[in-house]
A = this chain, B = another copy of it.
């Protein structure tokens, strides 16, 4: 099976490493950055590197795309006449519903796109931060669509387990986006707002403990990727933000009214929920 990984950033690079370790030896890479391709070849992660799809895509059985959402669409549009008949494509995009609709509109009929989301990542970008370790024990989500063939869903599931993921679940794109809006996008929005709400010029660094450090780690954020993810899931994210604000208001009112019992109830609720995780 000839595999092509498109986009050798931190996730695509990690895919090539994990595939190599799992014994897949016919893996090529596509990246617009020639230095990145050279690094990947030097590390033995890919057999050959290409700066565009035209040539290599024609012989690929499986294409793993790790690009920003907008660029995935672009790649499909650019290569729609190049894909091998019956080729399987998968992705690592963190949003699904709107994204899938866009892709399905331009995808040739003889190509099967299995939409996936590895629940693993790093704040850093680029192949230098790629590591197969990030996949070990993590969750993987597939969001099947009607046109997917069962054998191709199974193919991706099989590879995903081989490269170290612990659990693969199939859910609807709608449920994926609802949950990711809450568990991933909302925390990123809160971390950004927390850091940005600091008053300029204060000696904040001298007053931070683990709590501020933990809550703001993901405020170090890839602006190109996350602006696309936020806008590609806007309705769910806005609902999550609203739900969050309602809960923060309860705390605020508890403080304003000197209502200790109210605060204690909110803290007991959050403690119980957090312990269950």
Binding site for B on A (CB under 8 A): 119-121, 138-139, 141, 167, 169, 179-180, 182-184, 186-199, 202-209, 211-224, 226-228, 230-231, 234, 237-238, 240-241, 243-248, 250-252, 254-256, 258, 260, 263-264, 266-271, 273-277
Number of copies: 2
A254 to B189: give the CA distance in the assembly, Å: 11
Residue with the highest number of chain B CB atoms closer than 10 Å, among A186, A219, A251, A274 = A274
- Chief secondary structure at chain A's binding surface: helix
Partner of A245, one of B189, B211, B248, B260: B248
User: Are B216 and A217 interface neighbours, CB within 8 A?
Assistant: no
A262 to B208: give the CA distance in the assembly, Å: 28
Partner of A263, one of B184, B211, B220, B226: B226
Contacts of A274 in B (CB 8 A): 195, 216-217, 219-220
8 pairs of residues in contact across A and B, judged by CB atoms under 8 Å: A141-B207, A183-B209, A191-B211, A196-B250, A205-B276, A223-B268, A231-B263, A234-B255
